[in-house]
Amino acid sequence: MQMTLVALGKTQSKWIAEGVAVYEKRLKHYGKFRFVETPDIKLKQSKADPLQVMKAEALLLEKLLPGVDHLILLDERGKSRSSLQCAEQLRKLQNRGLKHAMWVIGGPYGFDESIRAKAHEFWSLSPMTFSHQMIRPFAIEQIYRAHTILKGEPYHHE
């Protein structure tokens, strides 16, 4: 199964990019994995309208969706899971014979309703609020952790 983690917008933080790269490399061991950052949305007005930003981000995301048979949005209103439950959910996705599962980290304003309507699941990584930049290393590490749990590797300690 192809797995893709998409982050809307680029990060300017070197340490975040380096952390993501570490886990992206580790995930290659478990199959087809790809991390994608979309371009930043630049609107012409001086103060961005959140709805316009979300719509523009939705248009970028739409281009990545063909061939995706399971879309998971990382959203503060999503279902919260333990790492073991995330691993179990990943196992279920793998057992369904899906070709392509995609996780998406929204931009600073969240997701446009057109994208929310296409999602199969909504996951929350924490009841706390983190910047959409900070979620990148957290999300990719949890996908990696789920794989190590499924393989019975010693990375995860209970």
Q: Which pLDDT does position 63 carry in this prediction?
A: 97
State which H helix or E strand residue 5 sits in. Answer: strand 2-7
> In this predicted structure, what is the pLDDT of residue 46?
59
Half-sphere exposure of 24 (CA within 13 A, CB side): 15
Structural element, H or E, at residue 7: strand 2-7
Instruction: Specify if 157 maps to a domain.
Output: no
Q: Give the per-residue pLDDT at 25.
A: 97
Question: Does a structural domain hold residue 25?
Answer: yes
Count up the domains in the chain and report the number. 1
- CA neighbor of 1 nearest in space, from 79, 139, 140, 96: 96
Q: Exposed, middle or buried: residue 158 (CB in 10 Å: 0-12, 13-18, 19+)?
A: exposed
What pLDDT score does 42 carry? Answer: 72
Residue-level pLDDT at 47: 73
CATH number where 100 lies: 3.40.1280.10
The residue range of the domain holding 25 is 2-42+50-150
| Rounded distance between C-alpha atoms, residue 143 and residue 108, angstroms | 22
E strands in 8-150:
33-37, 70-80, 100-105, 121-124
pLDDT for residue 43: 64
- Print pLDDT tens along the chain (158 aa): 999 999 998 998 999 999 999 999 999 999 999 999 998 887 655 577 889 999 999 999 999 999 999 999 999 889 999 999 999 999 999 999 999 999 999 988 899 999 999 999 999 999 888 888 999 999 999 999 999 999 999 998 76
Residue 131 confidence (pLDDT): 86
- What is residue 158's predicted lDDT score, i.e. its pLDDT? 66
Determine the Cα–Cα distance for residues 114 and 19; give it in Å rounded to an integer: 31
